[in-house]
Structure 1
């Protein structure tokens, strides 16, 4: 089964990914944890609440099918993949996820944002919406500063909501302190209102 779990920042996607890995491993299943452009800037899945797990970094040239087949050739059974930050993967990676499910009976659980800071779908997220057997919005409530449901991730540069720029910029890290992200409702994302403060 290919399942895509999505939601805005702070809704617990990475936390849920690590919990799912734990639950499957506890039942004797063997899996691989993968990520791309994690906030830690390292090959690991990290959460805002302090959990972390080593992971395989997904690069443009990594073939997920070849990765799994290679592990099998080395005698390591792979029953499932946990794919965190899947919105940053390539569309080809999503096609490989579907192939792993359909051809090799490997379950794939993908976690990520749906849209970028401009509220446009990430290409990989769009393909996951199109191909996944199940698409699940993560239901941990995230609020805008006004109290409405937080739906969109605003990129804030020098205190202003950015409307242009590279699709992916890591923020909230020591190297990029002038860039941060804030979850906003649609109204305040459109107006660029970051609230009192």
Structure 2
């Protein structure tokens, strides 16, 4: 019985690597699937992992209709056994509903991969709808780590070296500049996300003689880069 499964986690938890591995495993058993992604860091129409693995994919624009895409493939004589949907946090709620329809009416498995919340700790619309509709939501077991060594639970946006909690929800990191400077992302534990203490801020604080608003010694500080 086909299911809609949402594999969720923070950045650096290996979701894209798992998506690539899952596609490989299914293809190795003679199954045929379609791979989708949106706003991958490596460019358009690519599903890539930070480990350096990559494959071509269908870019999910806001106008893409999953139901029409899959039905079109089938009516043209093609075969579709499963869908791999990476960066699904960027999908619209309507597109997530289309994925659920593909599962329910076409009996095709859908594996969606994405991060749940943004740099403001708010759920992405696509992730929220996936949590609401998925047959299973599975938290990835590869633990991303905060700079202090604790398990990372939150995604942080760093602009020109400073953590920010305001701005547009979607800005691709490592490839996009905003007016204020280069955009990067970092995973943090809740404690340091709430304190806006990125790894760079921690390094600067450790070298400062100023009195800190909290006891930084409670967490190990990484050595200067």
What TM-score range do you get, normalising by the shorter chain? Answer: over 0.9
3-state SS of paired residue (2:70): helix
3-state SS of paired residue (2:127): helix
C-alpha root-mean-square deviation of aligned residues, in Å?
Answer: 1.0
The answer to which of 70-79 and 80-89 deviates more is 70-79
Task: Report the count of equivalent residues.
Answer: 196
Alignment correspondent of 1:182 = 186
Residues 1:15 and 2:47 are matched in the alignment: no
Alignment correspondent of 2:173 = 171
CA distance in 2, matches of 1:92, 1:2: 15
CA distance in 1, matches of 2:108, 2:67: 10
3-state SS of paired residue (2:68): helix
CA distance in 2, matches of 1:24, 1:181: 32
Alignment correspondent of 1:159 = 161
Query: Which protein has the larger Cα radius of gyration, Structure 1 or Structure 2?
Result: 2
Alignment correspondent of 2:104 = 102
CA distances 1:26-55 after superposition (whole Å, capped 9, x unpaired): 111110000001101220101100000100
After TM superposition, where is structure 1 displaced by more than 2 Å over at least 4 residues in a row?
none
Normalising by structure 2, we get a TM-score of 0.85
Alignment correspondent of 1:76 = 78
CA distance in 1, matches of 2:117, 2:69: 28
| Shift in Å, 1:163 | 1.1
Runs of at least 5 residues in structure 1 that lack an aligned partner in the other structure: none
Normalising by structure 1, we get a TM-score of 0.97
3-state SS of paired residue (1:164): coil
Q: Which has the higher contact order (CA 8 A, sep 6+)?
A: 1
